[in-house]
Structure 1
Amino acid sequence: MVSTDRCYAVSPECPVSATTLGYYPNLGANAFFLASFTLCAIVTVAIGVWKRTWAFGIVVGAGFFLETCGYIGRVLMHSNPWSDPGFKMDLVCIILAPTLICAGIYLTLKHVARTVGPNFSRIKPRLYTWIFIPFDVFCLCLQAIGGGVDAAASDTTPVNEKTLKAGNDIILAGIVLQVVNLVVFGLLSLDFFVAAKKNFHNASPELQNSSAARIWYSKRFRIFCLAVTGAYAGILIRCIYRIAEMAGGWGNATMRNEVLFYVLEGAMVLYPAFLLSIFSPGLFFPEMGDAAASVEAQNDNNNNNNEKQENSDEGGVVGLQEQ
């Protein structure tokens, strides 16, 4: 068997079938995804700056920009499937991008919970980003470690199959944990919205006339929540697909199925990108902006101060009683 270690272009000794993907990536399809993600990145960042939803605009816009870079890599591989820069851009950027998009989704629930009613949430709103984003990063680190182990195994002659399998298993563990992270977040989100719906339905006149109730019942807010839910579903499907993609190791049949890639990787990230761009929080949930966030933070501080004061008062009463 002829080694492909020195393959840099397609030739009789280095056929396209010997590459990891096993095909020439379709130019038209990848150019479409490239242009679409570029547009989404520009729109998301522009609205984020315009409406001062800075964190969402920068984080999610960066995710779309990474998707753009990933498809640039695939365009490069159309002319040369052995392109090492193209393969690395495709692999790294398309793996990293959905994590940033997820971070934007985690951020929206934090602000929704703060605005509509922190008491409806099982955990404090600020913890959504403190728990789920670092765990996503941990999952990515596992995948990176697995990739490093695979690279080290592939550099040996002959290839160390045992080490290669260990690397694949580490990558797969990172992907599975990423899916678990998304599922737990989804369950907490569902729990929050069920609690909020129940409380607003049976609310006192005072609560029904509050600013939180006006936001909850507004059509704009409902549309925004549906858009984020749709985006979440797409990213979740994409992550589940990645489990199947890596389950058989590098160059398996699922990884080499180009149509499946465009449907379950490309489209399952692109339609969430359209949803998050068109129904941006800057337009449909402006309470997520800087000014509103500062008010929410002040309210949080006031609530914490009130709790401390109540505890202090209770402590004083207890002390007097003891005296």
Structure 2
Amino acid sequence: MVKLEDIDPSLLPPNLSPTELENLIAAYYYSCDAVSPTCPVSATTLGYYPNRGINIFLAIGFGISLLVTLYYGIKTKTWTYSGFVAAGCALELAGYVSRIPLTDNPWNKKAFETQIVAIILAPTLLCISIYLTLKHVCLSLNPALSRIKPRLYPFIFVPLDISCLTVQAIGGALAAGGAVSNIRLVEHGNRAIIAGIVLQVVVLGGFGGVGGEFCWRVGKWIKTGEADEQAVGLWNDKKFRRFVYAVSGAYVAILLRCIYRIAEMAGGWGNHIMQDEWSFVVLEGIMVLIACLLLAFFPPGVLFPQMAARMSEPRSKKSVKGDVEGQTQTGTSTGEKGVVVGGNVAEGSTGTNSEKAVPVSSSPVKKEDSI
């Protein structure tokens, strides 16, 4: 990037303030559309010619993730979960396809802006799919052990995640609007993007905390021997564990990517971290690709049928089944006849036919319970 002290003052209009001079330089470079002696690659935001092979590799990886997600999503009818994963994969695919033209011309503005928007926003959609899983894990094991009512998890974390997306989108719009002639507006946009990513890290940290604490409590409960056979069976089920490990792996990968993004954006557009291609490839591209592949190839429709059943069942036919909250999976005393446990009716050992349990509620599950 050209430094102000390297410019011959005689070539500039008189009485320019430092801000006006910066805006003039920004406007000049914004007019560049190809690499030339006066528009060198070092003056671009990236500062390098992106590697064509690695971008094709990443685009293929995200394309495969998208196709696999759509296949399992349609087959198992897990529309919400698979929809957000597919949207995230599609944005990543668009982002890395857009980086391919930059390998020939780093001044290609449309390609640069497309890849910036797509690659920054895509992980937020992947996070939404991850946030949806905790509710179903709680309901399937023991909702009473959750600090928060399971049905509330999507209504807490999804809006927070969308707010991260909104703040980053506003920052991107400000940066794009100021790119022509207002360097200060670009800086404000950069700060907004950083704020959105920091908020995303905080939200991810909170989600990991409540999810990890719930699993820890369930583990202790299982060891007491008080857990019912259904909960123990699910806890020890290899398929369920693979699903949980896959979602956890995707969570960690996205968290690492967000932390990297904070460092990358902290120095402003075109800083030395942003111009290091391989840190971007490993900590952005590979991390998000790992998350997409894990979410695509370890779908709930195959590994966690309880979650898939809640998401795919027609709304008109839903009943409370295992979604009754506040009840433990044990059913416990004879005074608790009539509690629906894991979708089955639990009866006391001394009950008569007239005392047979009835569902707690026969009304349809609320719309949000199928998310």
* TM-score normalised per structure 1: 0.87
Q: Equivalent of 1:184, from 206, 220, 230?
A: 206
CA RMSD of aligned residues (A): 2.3
Q: Could you tell me how far apart the structure 1 residues matched to 2:275 and 2:325 are?
A: 56
Structure 2 unaligned regions, length at least 5: 1-6, 8-24, 328-337, 340-358, 361-371
Corresponding letter in the other structure for 2:222: F
Q: Could you tell me how far apart the structure 1 residues matched to 2:322 and 2:290 are?
A: 36
CA displacement at 1:120 relative to structure 2? 1.6
Corresponding letter in the other structure for 2:77: R
2:236 is matched with which residue?
217
Post-superposition Cα deviations, 1:136-174, rounded to whole Å, max 9, x if no partner, equal 111121122222333343333xx443x433332222111
Q: Equivalent of 1:173, from 183, 188, 195?
A: 195
1:208 aligns with 2:228: yes
1:300 is matched with which residue?
323
Which deviates more from structure 2 when the two are superposed, residues 8-17 or residues 283-292? 283-292
CA displacement at 1:291 relative to structure 2? 4.9
Which deviates more from structure 2 when the two are superposed, residues 111-120 or residues 233-242? 111-120
Which deviates more from structure 2 when the two are superposed, residues 59-68 or residues 296-305? 296-305
Gap change, CA 1:103 and 1:152, over 3 Å in 2: same
Q: Could you tell me how far apart the structure 1 residues matched to 2:294 and 2:188 are?
A: 38
Q: How many residues were matched structurally?
A: 302
2:352 is matched with which residue?
none
CA displacement at 1:213 relative to structure 2? 2.4
1:132 aligns with 2:132: no
Post-superposition Cα deviations, 1:280-312, rounded to whole Å, max 9, x if no partner, equal 212211222145775675443687998xx99xx
Structure that is richer in helix per residue: 1
Q: Equivalent of 1:97, from 108, 122, 141?
A: 122
2:99 is matched with which residue?
74
Corresponding letter in the other structure for 2:212: L
Q: Equivalent of 1:113, from 108, 114, 138?
A: 138
When Rg is computed on C-alpha atoms for both structures, the one with the higher figure is: 2
Which deviates more from structure 2 when the two are superposed, residues 283-292 or residues 175-184? 283-292
* TM-score normalised per structure 2: 0.76
Structure 1 unaligned regions, length at least 5: 311-323
2:253 is matched with which residue?
234
Q: Could you tell me how far apart the structure 1 residues matched to 2:88 and 2:43 are?
A: 31
Which deviates more from structure 2 when the two are superposed, residues 277-286 or residues 35-44? 277-286
Which deviates more from structure 2 when the two are superposed, residues 115-124 or residues 25-34? 115-124
